[in-house]
């Protein structure tokens, strides 16, 4: 299957798609080539590229400084638009302080479990202690009894409390209302369960979704190689999917 750069809007997950997943969220390594790749994609696709991540904006700013494309943080709760994007997007979500305190206290005795507190959601990582997954889920389910406006979302070796209605599909649909995204065929590339909402949104909008394990096999390095081919293609020359 082919993709022509002139015809698509591209939505890219970060962890597990553009960069390799690390044992801790703060231990990832960002390839030196990534900034240049995003800049080249921005030029070739006329700006119709966005990074859509579950991470907080502070992480995205740190990993992708001076990023030329929109950064969508916390599954669509926060948007950062560089110069040249002439529209405004604002979404207001805030984790109730009492909910954060409840989860923080309930997880305190679970060694190796990392609580990542974000503006809109709480993400609990158990990659370093997978045996604690049942206990983590039990804590989050107890939290839902008190804060039913949230739901539990699954990710790789993590569980997240997130507001109902907040997901990457919503972020895709919002961006697709505006140029340079509007009028193009949306394509989402992701690797995790949290990316499925973005993939479904793209399919419903007449586009498609690419899953890193099935469509790229080798992981983020293979994704980056394919994106370079897309960014470097000539006019009307489709990029071939990797074998």
Confidence of residue 23 (pLDDT cuts 50, 70, 90): confident
User: Which conformational region is residue 157 in: left (phi greater than 0), alpha (psi within -120 to 50 degrees), or beta?
Assistant: left
Length of the chain as a residue count: 243
Q: What is the pLDDT of residues 147-196, one digit of tens each?
A: 999 999 998 899 999 999 899 999 999 999 999 999 999 999 999 999 99
- Residue 61 annotated to the active site: no
Residue among 2, 6, 13, 145 flagged as catalytic: 13
The model's pTM is 0.86
The reply to whether CATH 3.10.20.740 applies to domain 97-163 is no
CA distance 178 to 176: 5
The CATH number corresponding to 2-91+166-240 among 3.40.50.1000, 3.40.50.1580, 2.60.120.10, 3.40.50.620 equals 3.40.50.1000
Which uninterrupted H or E stretch holds 2?
A: strand 2-3
CA distance 223 to 213: 10
| pLDDT reported for residue 234 | 61
- Tokens, residue 240: 């071939």
């Amino acid at each position: 299957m082919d993709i022509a750069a002139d015809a698509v809007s591209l939505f890219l997950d970060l962890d597990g798609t553009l960069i390799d997943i690390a044992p801790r969220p703060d231990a990832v390594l960002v390839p030196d080539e990534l900034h240049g790749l995003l800049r080249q994609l921005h030029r070739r696709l006329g700006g119709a590229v966005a990074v859509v991540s579950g991470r907080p904006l502070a992480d995205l700013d740190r990993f992708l400084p001076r990023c030329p494309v929109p950064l969508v943080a916390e599954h669509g709760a926060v948007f950062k638009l560089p110069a040249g994007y002439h529209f405004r997007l604002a979404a207001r979500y805030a984790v109730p302080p009492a909910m954060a305190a409840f989860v923080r206290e309930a997880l305190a005795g679970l060694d190796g479990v990392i609580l990542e507190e974000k503006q809109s959601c709480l993400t609990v990582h158990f990659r370093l202690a997978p045996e604690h997954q049942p206990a983590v889920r039990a804590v989050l389910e107890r939290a839902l009894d008190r804060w039913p406006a949230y739901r539990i979302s699954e990710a790789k070796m993590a569980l997240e409390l997130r507001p109902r209605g907040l997901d990457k599909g919503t972020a895709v649909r919002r961006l697709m209302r505006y140029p340079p995204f509007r009028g193009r065929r949306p394509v989402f590339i992701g690797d995790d369960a949290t990316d499925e909402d973005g993939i479904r949104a793209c399919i419903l909008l007449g586009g498609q979704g690419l899953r890193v394990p099935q469509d790229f096999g080798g992981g983020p390095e293979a994704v980056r190689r394919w994106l370079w081919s897309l960014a470097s293609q000539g006019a009307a020359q489709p990029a071939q999917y990797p074998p």
